[in-house]
Structure 1
Amino acid sequence: MNVFNREMKRRQKNWAAVLEEGHQYDYLRDEVGSRVADRVYDIARTFPLALDIGGGKSHIAEHLSQKLRRQSEIPTQCVLADEEFLPFKENTFDLVVSGLLHWINDLPGALRQIHAVLKPDGVFIGAMVGGETLYELRCSLQLAEVEREGGFSPHVSPYTAVTDLGNLLGRAGFSMLTFQDIDDVQVHYPGIMEVMTDLQMGESNCAWNRRSMLHRDTMLAAAAIYKMYGSEDGSVPATFEILYMIGWKPHESQAKPARRGSATASFRDLSKI
């Protein structure tokens, strides 16, 4: 699959990274990084060697370090690499984490590579943007284009559906799959232009079928429609659906399902117990 222009996404991220006040736009990445870090600490074991894929400005590692600061600092090493082509040997890491891994063309292939670099009984903890993300913006732009131009084109990137996650992890070879939960993170803005301005900080649409520009009349109509989602204080919401998942690399020590037909009691008899 070749949905995204990866070279354009690289240029977008490089441009956003050198902005003097670029840290002001990291609120969503920091929030997701904090929640992924919390899920790491939910697992009662230590991880001598971990990999953060798409770490950016260390949005996950920063929160892990804050919780360990009283004990010791976590030594880290940054590697510039493509998320779709991991430059690591098989069976290397005890833990792989990833926050907002959603600009991947070959997601099944990327998950297989994550599975490969994990040691047996290693765990992958990831967060991904779900398909309902930015539905307010998507609907406003589509309705405005239909009304002003007689049709619409995609302006918001396609995202993974929640129903696909279990299948993707299973196909990649993970066992003991845990699809933990979905978080709807809602951020309020003065208007649609502020939403789109913030998205330009490394999260602009880079799909090959994107439209390069919007007509002024269409933008004005979209801004008016977006206000229909607004609250009493005049602000408008932007909803980000975040999907969290955990998958383990198989190991002989892990619990396994009982052999089919080995049950000693029937569900029919549960009421008698």
Structure 2
Amino acid sequence: MKFYLNNLKLVRQCLIDFHRQLSISQIYFQQSESTRNIFDRQTKLKQRERTCLDPNYETYSYVHERVAQSLVDRIFDIKRTFQSALDLGCGRGLTASELTKDVVKRITMIDNSSLMLSQIRPPIEENGHDGIEIIKKHMDEEQLSGEESSYDLAYSCLSLHWINDLPGVLRKVLYLLKNDAPFIGAMFASDTLYQLRVSLQLAETEREGGFSPHVSPFVEPPDIGGLLQRIGFNIVTLDLDEIYIDYPSMFELMFDLKGMGENNCSWNRNLTLKRETLLAAQAIYQNMYGNQNGSIPATYRILYFIGWKPDPSQKSPAKRGSANVSFKDIDKILTTKK
């Protein structure tokens, strides 16, 4: 193993292949109307519904809960009362459970898993009064439909990274929103679980002479920003957050990912991993990234975004050539103000 870890040429090649694999998301966002069939949606549905059968499913919701709370904070930052909101890919309703009726009056919750819809947490009731009105719809996010201008808020929490036709879904969301309504989302971004990805690739290359993807490809933040603007959203803003969690070993991490329903479902995944490859991956993970106390870190990189449906009332940049002051005179202006 020491000989392998010191083989810098092999490590360098695996890292190059790692970044080449990330370019899948860049290809996806090219100027093309064709749908990229990257993920097996039926497999993802089975993976998510399998988590519903575990009586301790809430134990594995810690990442989703953290992201849902951050997403709700962004909704609260918008000083409005939303009459009708769309929760796209709602899962068990972790985001809705953090909202209050003084912010959102009615939420339409859409998910392709009927089992998850049945496990939705009810939103918080305020002072004994009725909580938010909830409408559940069993519908695949890629088949989203509804009447134009139906919602004054749409949000999605950790669902969009499993969508094949992301441009098509975003167009439908834009169609369903009222003018000057926001769409707020959170999704896993590139470099999420990079420690696990690299460790598995290096171990598989050593033991089997090559590797296949075991961690789903994720998008680059600039790609999402460009896509939202291309679809027609206005005033697009992005921000990134990183969540670091320590696990006893790589095996606990993989077990928890399965419990979250976040295990890989890309079509080109390898369905099996040899025992000796897994043991080698754990050793590599520990040697390359391990903490001093024997645990291993995992990085979840979260991309938050917000885009607004255009409206004449929104602020827009001044027309090109409309400036009446030259930058070369800016020092004179500052001197005059003093």
Q: Distance in 1 between matches of 2:151 and 2:52?
A: 28
What is the distance in 2 between the residues matched to 1:255 and 1:68?
36
Once the two structures are superposed, residues 57-101 of structure 1 have per-residue CA deviations (whole angstroms, 9 ceiling, x without a partner) of 111111113777347621111111111111211110000011112
Contact 2:84 2:151 in 1 (8 A): yes
Q: Distance in 1 between matches of 2:125 and 2:71?
A: 15
- Write the mapping of 1:4-153 to structure 2, written as runs, cut at 5 A: 4-65=39-100, 69-70=126-127, 73-100=131-158, 101-153=160-212
The correspondence for 2:316, drawn from 256, 264, 267, is 256
Query: Mean Cα displacement is larger for which, 26-35 or 67-76?
Result: 67-76
Secondary structure, aligned partner of 1:115: helix
- Could you tell me which runs of 5 or more consecutive residues in structure 2 were left unpaired when the two chains were aligned: 1-35, 101-122, 334-338
TM-score of the superposition, structure 1-length normalised?
0.96
Aligned to 1:172: 231
Partner Cα distance (1:245, 1:252) in 2: 22
TM-score (norm 2): 0.78
Residues 200-244 of structure 1, C-alpha deviation per residue, up to 9 Å, x if partnerless? 121110000000011111111000011121212211111110000
Distance across 2 between alignment mates of 1:118 and 1:269: 44
Aligned-partner SS, 2:136: coil
Aligned-partner Cα distance in 1 for 2:124–2:328 = 49
- Secondary structure of residue in 2 paired with 1:239: strand
Q: What are the ranges of 5 or more consecutive residues in structure 1 without an aligned counterpart?
A: none
Aligned residue among 270, 280, 285 for 1:211: 270
Percent of paired sites with the same residue = 49
- SS of residue paired to 1:111: helix
Indicate the SS of the match to 2:242: strand
Greater relative contact order (CA < 8 Å, ≥ 6 in sequence)? 1
The secondary structure found in structure 2 opposite 1:105 is coil
Structure 2 CA distance, aligned partners of 1:72 and 1:247? 31
Q: Which amino acid aligns with 2:202?
A: L
Q: What root-mean-square deviation, in Å, do the aligned CA atoms of Structure 1 and Structure 2 show?
A: 1.3
SS in 2 for 1:4: coil
Structure 2 CA distance for aligned equivalents of residues 217 and 233 of structure 1: 24
- Greater per-residue helix proportion: 2
2: distance between equivalents of 1:30 and 1:20?
18
Residue by residue over 1:96-126, the C-alpha shift from the partner in whole angstroms, topping out at 9 and shown as x without a partner, is 0111121000111111111111011110000
Q: CA contact under 8 A between 2:124 and 2:131: conserved in structure 1?
A: no
The answer for the alignment partner of 1:193 in structure 2 is 251
Q: Which runs of 4+ in 1 moved over 4 A?
A: none
Contact 1:157 1:207 in 2 (8 A): yes
- Residue of structure 2 in register with 1:230 after alignment: 290
Q: Partners of 1:112 and 1:241 in 2: how far apart?
A: 25
Contact 1:108 1:171 (C-alpha < 8 Å) held by counterparts: no
Match of 1:267 in 2: 327
Larger Rg, first or second structure (1 or 2): 2
CA separation of 1:267/1:68 partners in 2, compared to 1, >3 Å: closer, same or farther? farther
Aligned residues: 272
Per-residue CA deviation, residues 108-154 of structure 1 (Å, 9 max, x unaligned), is 11111111110111100000100110000000000101111111111
- The question of whether the paired residues in 2 share the 8 Å contact of 1:156 and 1:205 is answered with yes
CA deviation digits over 1:167-222, x for unaligned, max 9? 1101111001111x111011111001111111112111000000001111111100
Bigger CA drift: 24-33 or 256-265? 256-265
Once the two structures are superposed, residues 12-69 of structure 1 have per-residue CA deviations (whole angstroms, 9 ceiling, x without a partner) of 1111112111110011111110000000011111111001111111111111137773
8 Å CA contact retained: 1:131, 1:161: yes
